[in-house]
Structure 1
């Protein structure tokens, strides 16, 4: 009797990657996506397409598929297990137990991609073989098989919520805010999903925990009390951490296996702007040290890190106006961290909001020369800031940026124009990357008009 196939629910980038990997390993699959055009594409590519109903060995659900999806509810009722691509990746590693690879997993509300990119850069610069992927860039099942080296994986709350077997050698929790409540239902469930990154770790593993927010501090304390817990390394951009990595008075410190040492001034060690990048840097430093990289290699490597696209990315200066692309700032905390980097800025924000409290942004209104708000939640931002700063509302991003440039160039000196939306992009763009690319196109058009 033929073995039941594995169902792939959601056939975007991750679902297609999972289907290819399972077929390559000799497993039968069937796929489903709620979008008719995607189903047609899958069928044309030769994948069997049908609604996911028994008999099925299991369902591998793509990260964006909501837990309330009818086919997942039916699977639960039928006793069909549901997992994600991260557990499939774990199973692949388990089939090669003699291959000396290590896995670093990174999660948090903000900074995940930057920290993954930073760790990957630090390891490569110190002579280690490293590949990065997961929620950032390449899906985990498309990553090359390493004979020796380190996988550095960005893990979303969606992916972690479905993990059962994944055990990272080094797990990082950077920070915890509020996000994705439409998917998780409650903030408690969101936090619990993030904390699952430590669930299967053992005493010979390492848990790196950011303690600059109350949730991170509580999780650090719980981990230290857990029987069979991993070694816990606390990191902070504000306070000293016994046995950890931190910044104090602008100086990077570590208290790891070699004891305490002051590494150097953050102003000389880090080129990417913003105090929030201090938190990213201490986490990346702790992770790289946890897999054997030495301080002498990491100091020049950290200073050479230029950041990732769409994250406080300096695009160009047009008529003396600097343009900064922070399209990845899809929530209030991320945008507040960006605004805090400037004394005065022309701020472009908006999109599809997440029903967050805007108070952390309002507290930074004295840094906003003028607000240029667009998209679905443009009126919400306009109402919140109208009594505090000059505000202008637009339907689309291009008009907002063009108007911001006209205002910014009149400053003495000209003010920066910052795109840091504090919102998701889905009202007008496929993702934050498409929004950032559109911002770049407007800036390039302005530069041509000035030449």
Structure 2
């Protein structure tokens, strides 16, 4: 890392990435001090483990780094205007994140990184990518904002790393140079953290700065604009992906096939068949875009077409992401509890032609007018829950006044049973009852996982539910409903 072995490093935050960074630094011979505001049972237990490695943990709200600190490694959730971090900067102490630390700590001949960012779809894309790399016989792992801490993985026995990066992580990174980098989509998110949409977009775009292969969503305005400055540079290769028929230099869709017109010997005349739409699970337009982004990164690394196809077939979708729970009396019930903000919910709503929408939760100040306006033609009914359900109700009144709306309060006994029963009452055979809340879950549930599980249990308690009815596995594999959409 080009540093003095005797320096003191302060790690801000005792989360997963903070603890991993502290261990890695201690193993390098640094004196490590961790500062942590929360003083709970879990934090105390972890502090005891770190103490065994010679790492000091200081509890309480920190005002500034300890005397003699030469570097601060911050957890990604700490805002740039946190007094501790501003005090460090004022004292001339460099502040970086765990991802930047991992990049600097890579050993000689380290595994290259294939990196993904975007507002939505990062985890799905990076897991698809890892599956494609594994199908090609490469030893790999999904890391970063998903899976193992990257500071641990860079020392592992891997050929290549599939790296998911959030805007928080990118903010605290300065020198990353992935082999190939993809931006899936950009929509307003985390604006309270970044301060403005322009800053959020700028931070996302830093992923492209040192990547020789730049992959962008040609159907999304911001990734296309962020890639544009690199198109005429001899040291860069810009590759787009689209849900339309691809032009030379793009990956896209031709009829029911995913094809590559970028990484072939003659992109003008030839296209490589990568997979079929049926290989994408769960099937939804934005997930096809995720698959194309993953394929572009894999192809940039030299993965053959047959491994792209096999990787998609081997990929196991995460729970609560467009998960088909059951079909009851001709109505499909789909759990996308992970759609915790408007951009993610829009993707789910675009995937089905006739929807009874279960929505609501903590919107965190987000505007849902555009979401509701675009979804209005597909809506057959809506069941609203959560603290901010009135915001969605008012948007529905403006943009879908004829759509029947039912509100269910949090103090109702067995609230999700009531929600699902009301949705079933509004639905007709051929409809999809879709849990895509567009809001966080913490007003009513401990997590989006608990919310999704409650939904699935309620569906299975419907009078018409049968154990042998088409369920999660069948729905994930082949729930063909639409074409077109966005990258998640």
TM-score with structure 1 length normalisation? Answer: 0.89
| Structure with larger RCO (C-alpha < 8 A, sep 6+) | 2
Going from structure 1 to structure 2, the CA distance change for 1:182 and 1:296 (only over 3 Å counts) comes to same
Q: Residue in 1 aligned with 2:477?
A: none
Q: For structure 1, list consecutive stretches of 5 or more residues without a partner in the other structure.
A: none
**Residue equivalent to 2:474:** none
Structure 2 distance, partners of 1:2, 1:116, is 35
Q: Of the candidates 205, 210, 229, which is equivalent to residue 222 of structure 1?
A: 229
CA distance in 2, matches of 1:407, 1:419: 10
Q: Name the residue aligned to 1:268.
A: 278
Cα RMSD, aligned residues only: 2.7
Deviates more, 1:417-426 or 1:80-89: 417-426
Query: What residue is the counterpart of 1:82 in the other structure?
Result: 95
Aligned to 2:371: 360
Structure 2 gap ranges (5+): 468-488
2:57 is paired with a residue whose SS is coil
Deviations 1:304-355 (A, max 9, x none): 4342222112234456553322122122122111112112222111121142
Q: Which residue of structure 2 lines up, in the alignment, with residue 29 of structure 1?
A: 32
Distance 1:213 1:372, change over 3 A: same
Answer with 173-182 or 123-132: which moved more. 123-132
Against the structure 1 CA distance between its residues 401 and 371, is the aligned structure 2 distance closer, same or farther, given a 3 Å change threshold?
farther
Residues 34-63 of structure 1 show CA distances to partners (whole Å, capped at 9, x for unaligned) of: 223265444444352333423212111111
Q: Show the counterpart of 1:407.
A: 423
The Cα of 1:251 is off from its aligned counterpart by 3.6
- Corresponding position of 1:232: 238
Matches of 2:146 and 2:132, distance apart in 1:
17
Secondary structure class of the residue paired with 1:422: coil
Distance 1:449 1:302, change over 3 A: closer
Change (3 A) 1:78 1:441: farther
Q: How many pairs does the alignment contain?
A: 444
> What are the Cα deviations for residues 268-311 of structure 1, in whole angstroms up to 9, with x where unaligned?
34242211112111111111111111112322432443422221
User: Are positions 1:182 and 2:192 aligned together?
Assistant: yes
Matched, 1:143 2:153: yes
Partner residue of 1:389?
403
Q: Paired residue for 1:372? A: 383
CA distance 1:358–1:400, change in 2 (3 Å) = farther
Query: 1:70 is matched with which residue: 83, 92, 110?
Result: 83
Measured in 1, the distance between the counterparts of 2:418 and 2:430 equals: 14
Q: Distance in 1 between matches of 2:417 and 2:236?
A: 48
Using the TM superposition, give the Cα deviation of residue 122 of structure 1 relative to its aligned residue in structure 2, in angstroms. 1.4
Does the aligned pair in 2 maintain the 1:349–1:374 contact within 8 Å?
A: yes
